[in-house]
Amino acid sequence: MNTFKTLLLLAAMTALLMVVGYSIGGPQGTVLALVFAAVTNLLAWWKSDQMVLKMHKARPLGPREAPELMQMVEHLSRNAEIPVPAIYLIDKDQPNAFATGRSPENSAVAMTTGIVQLLSREELAGVIAHEMAHIKNRDTLIMTVSATVAGAISMIAQFGLFFGGGRDRPMGALGTILMAVLAPMAAMVIQMTISRTREYAADRLGAQICQNPMWLASALIKISNPNTMLVTAERFPTTAHLFIHNPLTVRGTDSLFSTHPDIRNRVAELQELAREMGQKVMTLPMIQPMQRRSPWGRRRGESHADGARRPSPWR
């Protein structure tokens, strides 16, 4: 269902692009708009992964720096049945993570130092599994396409506002002005709807990859806590939809203009999945973040927030 909805939304965005092109240049404008979108998508598909990693100053993490983390990544990638992605670290206190790459064979997972310090090993496994779900579902490609098409719509609409819109245009001057204002807004709504749809799908698949939905649910609660959002401004807001939690806000809503679903809704979905899997469902209030400590220092079998003692799943 999520795949069908995503394809439907991408089709709607493509149709909107064609309408914008037609409103400016008629049938020829439609063709030019599609060609422009195809070229921008090709460039984004080929270079977007390295571009976003450089934008956030992510550095590759070698196996000698965090051997247990790399073992975890290898175990989760086997569960996900994808090649082991490259791991990058971003020196930033704000706890967050994202996946990038044009295919599972050319993928990477980037994590901030804040999320590594904040979460337990199990919670971090839930986050990494969520990002691997994005890789397996090829969401990084879908989100790149939606972002570039949305950008193309905005650029073409603005071009028509300044250089077109005469009486000889299909929609006239007033129509061109309305299109220049409304089309980018419609494209943004469609793009954000795609983002929310893919987040729900990645939550579900990621929980299945790590084999415990409550690990990801607990991680989402900690990440979304206002006290953990130490960085309230983001240098590159165009990449906000890539992260597991929007870095531009301390709260999420399922509104038209939100890139991510509400955390409470995501946690509720994960709790329901845990019931379906026959697992114990923990009560997870919006708790204060735990004292920061390295997740690699936790002893196997150490008590967790729910009082249960669970062995590490990657050994």
* Window from 100-114, 129-143, 147-161, 284-298 with minimum mean pLDDT: 284-298
What is the rounded radius of gyration, in angstroms, for the C-alpha atoms of the chain? 21
Q: What percent of the chain has pLDDT over 70?
A: 66
Higher pLDDT, 106 or 309: 106
- Of 131, 199, 269, 302, which is the active-site residue? 131
Q: What is the pLDDT of residue 59?
A: 94
Q: Is the per-residue pLDDT at 113 higher than 80?
A: yes
pLDDT surpasses 90 at 198: no
What integer is the mean pLDDT of 231-251?
A: 55
pLDDT at 185 over 70: yes
Where is pLDDT greater, at 92 or 236?
A: 92
Does pLDDT of 172 surpass 80? no
**What is the dihedral sign for C-alpha 160, 164, 165, 168?**
negative
Residue 197 corresponds to which tokens in the numbers above? 């749809």
Closest CA to 108 of 40, 61, 44, 66: 61
What average pLDDT does the segment 251-260 reach? 55
Answer yes or no: is pLDDT of 108 > 80.
yes
179-195 average pLDDT score: 70
Instruction: Answer yes or no: is pLDDT of 266 > 80.
Output: yes
> Any catalytic annotation for residue 105?
no
The whole-angstrom separation of Cα 167 and Cα 258 is 37
Q: Which whole number is the average pLDDT over 135-161?
A: 75
Smallest CA-to-CA distance from 278 within 189, 192, 222, 213 is with 213
The more confident residue out of 98 and 253 is 98
Residue 109: the pLDDT is 94
Confidence of residue 111 (pLDDT cuts 50, 70, 90): very high
pLDDT at 83 over 60: yes
Rounded-to-integer distance, Cα 49 and Cα 45, Å: 8
CB-count burial class (<10 Å; 0-12, 13-18, 19+) for 267: buried
3 state SS of 89: strand
d(CA 127, CA 129): 5
Is a pLDDT exceeding 90 seen at residue 110?
yes
More confident residue, 200 or 144: 200
Stretch 161-182: mean pLDDT, rounded?
Answer: 58
pTM of the model: 0.71
Whether the pLDDT of residue 312 is over 70: the answer is no
232 burial (CB, 10 Å; 0-12 / 13-18 / 19+) is exposed
Q: Each residue of 88-102: pLDDT tens digit?
A: 999 988 888 999 888
**pLDDT for position 275:** 93
Reported confidence tier of residue 77, pLDDT bands at 50, 70, 90: very high
When pLDDT is cut at 50, 70 and 90, the band that residue 136 belongs to is: very high
